[in-house]
């Protein structure tokens, strides 16, 4: 099931508790780490999730690790959130690295990130434990707000090699609502995205979303089309790292009941190359077009184009898109029976990989 840790939850507070805004159960992180001190964000900051109010910070040691119990061979989405919130009244935002076991995952850099930084990775552990480590890289103090693990079906988000680091996940809507659990049973976070060049279309009816990805109904009820019905539908994204290899997932569901003389058919192009076969979204039924091999973007600029075919009477549409960058963890984890270090500042010879 879900693992949801409220880092730095005070011993006097109830654990586990239900997060009021999501209905998810959160527990204290104290059983999963032996080091660090607890803090609380500045009370004058705007109201936020209960699980974001407290944090754990690590003034001692270079490397401090959580040891998490997981199920070997299961596909997990792991999300780590760090919200500084001026907990120490110093106004010095931290910068540090996150590691999965001995392997570098991502840098947390909270300067100018008032609302914090959340990072995701999809990963399949090779043992029944997973080490998530905060590593000091400069003079600032590493800190962490929450750790969340969500098991996923093993036939989703498959790569040739490596794990998947979350880059973008959004749905096309004129709403400003961020969706997660309970809208998404897998607790993926869907950001809203819209563009003046698009027209918003929607339905109140639910779609068949049983293609395995379980895209939330509120994502499938809304879509975007180009304002000019004969125009191409364009989305451009600039990568954080130009050489990243990307896996792409496009989710389609026709939200309008078409007349007999109407058809919606279009081709998909990724950086000028045809990405898949011609698609004709089905009314109230989910179709997901995905990468089977990683793709790259010249100069780190990725361009998605949906181009209406000559036979189509309607413009192309898109409901949602997910982009992930490949992360390759080169150090292998140990076998389940290998020994582990147990000092408060854990440094494991093993590694566990994911998203």
Give the pLDDT score at 333: 60
Peptide bond before 337: cis, by omega within 30 degrees of 0?
A: no
Nearest alpha-carbon partner for 80 in 98, 62, 67: 98
Cross-strand pairs, 106: 98
Q: What is the pLDDT of residues 200-246, one digit of tens each?
A: 999 999 999 999 999 999 999 999 999 999 999 999 999 999 999 99
Cross-strand pairs, 26: 17
Domains of the chain (ranges plus CATH)? 3-152 (2.60.120.430), 163-327 (2.60.120)
Q: Give the confidence band of 336 by pLDDT, cuts at 50, 70, 90.
A: very low
Question: How many CA atoms does the CB half-sphere of 15 hold within 13 Å?
Answer: 16
In angstroms, the CA 205 to CA 140 distance is 50
Q: What is the pLDDT of residues 71-97, one digit of tens each?
A: 999 999 999 999 999 999 999 999 999
Q: What is the pLDDT of residues 246-290, one digit of tens each?
A: 999 999 999 999 999 999 999 999 999 998 889 999 999 999 999
Which DSSP letter does residue 299 get?
G
Which DSSP letter does residue 228 get?
S
Three-state DSSP state, 298: helix
In angstroms, the CA 38 to CA 107 distance is 22
Assign 3-state DSSP to the chain and report helix, strand, coil percentages, each to 5: 5, 40, 55
Judged on CB neighbours under 10 Å (0-12, 13-18, 19+), 51 is: buried
Nearest alpha-carbon partner for 131 in 264, 329, 307: 329
The Cα angle at residue 352 between residues 211 and 168, in degrees rounded to 5: 45
Sequence-separated (6 or more) residues with CB below 8 Å from residue 114 = none
Which DSSP letter does residue 217 get?
H
Cross-strand pairs, 38: 56
Q: How far is CA 344 from the centre of its chain?
A: 29
The two structure tokens encoding residue 275? 């990405």
In angstroms, the CA 253 to CA 245 distance is 27
CA 324, 325, 330, 335: dihedral to nearest 10 degrees? -10
pTM (2 decimals)?
0.91
Rounded mean pLDDT of the chain? 92
pLDDT of 171 > 60? The answer is: yes
The two structure tokens encoding residue 73? 């061979």
Q: Give the confidence band of 47 by pLDDT, cuts at 50, 70, 90.
A: confident
Sequence-separated (6 or more) residues with CB below 8 Å from residue 112 = 93
Q: Could you tell me if 110 and 62 are in contact, meaning their C-beta atoms sit under 8 angstroms apart?
A: no
Task: Report the percentage of the chain scoring pLDDT > 90.
Answer: 87
pLDDT of 134 > 50? The answer is: yes
The Cα angle at residue 17 between residues 15 and 18, in degrees rounded to 5: 165
Would you list the DSSP string of 48-85? --GGGTEEEE--S-SEEEEEEE--TT-EEEEEEEE--T
Cross-strand pairs, 279: 266
The H or E element containing residue 191 is strand 191-193
Q: Could you tell me if 162 and 329 are in contact, meaning their C-beta atoms sit under 8 angstroms apart?
A: yes
Q: Show the DSSP H helices in 189-277 as ranges.
A: 217-220
């Amino acid at each position: 099931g879900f693992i949801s840790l409220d880092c730095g939850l005070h011993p006097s507070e109830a654990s586990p508790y239900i997060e009021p805004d999501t209905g998810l159960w959160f527990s204290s992180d104290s059983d999963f780490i032996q080091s660090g001190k607890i803090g609380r964000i500045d009370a004058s900051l705007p109201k936020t999730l209960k699980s974001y109010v407290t944090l754990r910070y690590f003034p001692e040691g270079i490397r401090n690790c959580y040891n998490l119990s997981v199920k070997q061979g299961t596909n997990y989405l792991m999300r780590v959130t760090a919200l500084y919130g001026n907990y120490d009244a110093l106004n010095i935002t931290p910068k540090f690295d996150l590691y999965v076991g001995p392997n570098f995952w991502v840098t947390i850099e909270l300067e100018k990130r008032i609302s914090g930084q959340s990072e995701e990775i999809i990963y399949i552990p090779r043992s029944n434990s997973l080490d998530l480590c905060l590593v000091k890289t400069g003079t600032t103090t590493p800190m962490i707000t929450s750790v969340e693990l969500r098991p996923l079906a093993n036939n989703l988000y498959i790569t040739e090699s490596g794990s998947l680091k979350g880059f973008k996940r959004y749905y096309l809507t004129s709403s400003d609502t961020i969706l997660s659990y309970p809208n998404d049973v897998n607790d993926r976070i869907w950001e809203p995205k819209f563009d003046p060049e698009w027209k918003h279309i929607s339905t109140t009816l639910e779609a068949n979303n049983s293609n395995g990805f379980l895209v939330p109904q509120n994502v499938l009820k809304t879509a975007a089309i180009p304002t000019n019905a004969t125009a191409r539908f364009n989305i451009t994204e600039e990568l954080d790292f130009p050489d990243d290899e990307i896996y792409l997932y496009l989710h389609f569901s026709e939200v309008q009941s078409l007349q007999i003389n109407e058809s919606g058919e279009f081709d998909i192009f990724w950086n000028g190359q045809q990405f898949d076969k011609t698609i004709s979204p089905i009314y109230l039924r989910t179709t997901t077009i995905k990468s089977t091999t990683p793709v790259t973007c010249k100069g780190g600029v990725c361009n998605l184009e949906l181009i209406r075919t000559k036979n189509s009477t309607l413009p192309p549409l898109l409901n949602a898109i997910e982009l992930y960058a490949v992360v390759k963890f080169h150090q292998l984890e140990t076998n389940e029976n290998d020994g582990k270090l147990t000092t408060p500042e854990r440094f494991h010879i093993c590694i566990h990989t994911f998203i």
